[in-house]
């Protein structure tokens, strides 16, 4: 279309791991088609401490939210500095689209986690009408920490959260795990569901504000006063893929390394829990009662993917072997295909006759 190749230099950019997520924002009074990305991975957090909105057609940075110590060279005029953005952001950014008459077609807000246990909410959080924003101008947005998973900043968000839109709040689902060090057996990681009730001036929630449902059967009421729930994973167990939410069930996968370094396969699990309580909902093949998880193979499993066709709905995950060998590296590897929970059929046949008079 005759648009020149972009020559934008982003000095804060680290290793680019983030997949773009696309949407429309206002840049002043102009509509801009953009994609959001995290500024990338940096082992020492010297780079990557930013979230960028980049124009699709030109590659120009429309706006960035950047740590106040970050490198803004050449981009200071399109930057909002965020004092808490102290850690690199390799994760994909999750966009929430507008749902009201004035916001539909625009990005309402975005969520993204960093390498320092922080989950950010970015949007026009100063607007009195939030979350029903009437000013979509990205220049007025800011970023605030919605949730701090770990006060020692050791739980890492490498993957974007899942979001469900509830009556009166958003429910933000997060999994932690260090993709840079997957075979560490000493890690302590968790799965979180956190309410964002659209508070304008945030005080970050922490695990102490949530209900610990690690023990099956613990009661939680998200439609009441509870702020969320969490499950602590076993030592060394970590989640290294995106989550999926389908028909009120949160699906996520985990990896636990082998004790023996000569057997690198490890254990891959699929979890399926009620999205509002964290409780078990599926009786797996061969089981006699509902359980939260199922061992599905070895290696680092992929994200759960829901496949819907005209005749079937399936859940698929790619896994490796639990104990790979040189002669047969694909033993037990493959793609497990499982049946997710489904709603009842929501249609029926209607018969009628027409009378002519």
* Rg (the chain; Cα; Å): 22
What pLDDT, in 10s, does the model give residues 246-262? Answer: 999 999 999 999 877 66
- The widest CA-to-CA distance across the chain, in whole angstroms, is 85
- Residue 180 has a pLDDT of 94
Which of 59-63, 265-269, 270-274 shows the lowest mean pLDDT across its residues? 265-269
What pLDDT, in 10s, does the model give residues 195-209? Answer: 999 887 789 999 999
pLDDT of 19 > 90? The answer is yes
- Residue 327 has a pLDDT of 46
Q: Rounded to whole angstroms, how far apart are CA atoms 278 and 215?
A: 10
What pLDDT, in 10s, does the model give residues 286-327? Answer: 887 889 999 999 999 999 999 988 888 999 999 987 655 554
Query: Count of CB atoms within 10 A of residue 292's CB?
Result: 19
57 Rama class: left (phi>0) / alpha (psi -120 to 50) / beta: alpha
Q: What's the chain's length in residues?
A: 357
DSSP states along 160-206: PPEEEEETTEEEEEEE---TTSTT-TT---EEEEEEE---SS---B-
190-196, strands of its sheet edge to edge? 162-166, 169-175, 190-196, 228-232, 211-212
Q: What is the 3-state secondary structure (H, E, C) of 134-165?
A: CCCEHHHCEEEEEEECCCCCCCCCCCCCEEEE
Q: Which residue has the higher pLDDT, 130 or 84?
A: 84
**pLDDT tier at 341, thresholds 50, 70, 90:** confident
The model carries a pTM of 0.90
Backbone φ, ψ for residue 30 (5° rounding): -95, 140
* Contact by Cβ (8 Å): 189, 177: yes
- Tokens, residue 332: 């037990």
């Amino acid at each position: 279309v005759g648009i020149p190749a972009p020559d934008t230099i982003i000095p804060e950019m680290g290793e680019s791991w983030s997949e773009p997520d696309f949407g429309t924002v206002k840049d002043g009074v102009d509509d801009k088609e953009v994609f959001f990305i995290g500024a990338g991975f940096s082992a020492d957090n010297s780079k990557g401490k930013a979230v960028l909105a980049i124009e699709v057609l030109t590659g120009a940075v429309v706006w960035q939210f950047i740590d106040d110590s970050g490198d803004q060279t050449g981009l200071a005029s399109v930057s909002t500095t965020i004092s808490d953005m102290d850690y690199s952001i390799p994760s994909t950014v999750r966009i929430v689209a507008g749902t009201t008459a004035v916001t539909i077609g625009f990005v309402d807000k975005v969520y993204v986690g960093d390498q320092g246990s922080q989950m950010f909410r970015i949007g026009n959080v100063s607007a009195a009408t939030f979350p029903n924003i009437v000013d979509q101008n990205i220049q007025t947005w800011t970023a605030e920490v919605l949730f701090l998973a770990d006060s020692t900043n050791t739980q890492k968000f490498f993957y974007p959260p899942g979001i469900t839109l509830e009556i009166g709040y958003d429910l933000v689902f997060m999994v932690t795990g260090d993709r840079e060090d997957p075979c560490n057996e000493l890690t302590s990681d968790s799965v979180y569901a956190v309410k964002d009730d659209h508070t304008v001036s945030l005080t970050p929630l922490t695990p102490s504000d949530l209900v610990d449902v690690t023990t099956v059967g613990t009661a939680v009421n998200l439609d009441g006063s509870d702020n969320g729930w969490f499950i602590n994973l076993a030592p060394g167990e970590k989640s290294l893929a995106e989550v999926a939410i389908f028909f009120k069930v949160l699906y996520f996968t985990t990896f636990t390394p082998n004790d023996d370094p000569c057997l690198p396969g490890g254990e891959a699990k699929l979890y399926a829990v009620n999205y509002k309580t964290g409780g078990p909902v599926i009786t797996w093949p061969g089981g006699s009662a509902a359980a939260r998880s199922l061992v599905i193979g070895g290696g680092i499993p992929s994200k759960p993917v829901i496949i819907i066709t005209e005749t079937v709905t399936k859940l698929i995950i790619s896994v490796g072997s639990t104990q790979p060998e040189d002669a047969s590296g694909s033993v037990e590897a493959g793609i497990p295909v499982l049946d997710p929970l489904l709603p009842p059929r929501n249609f029926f046949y209607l018969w009628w006759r027409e009378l002519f008079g």
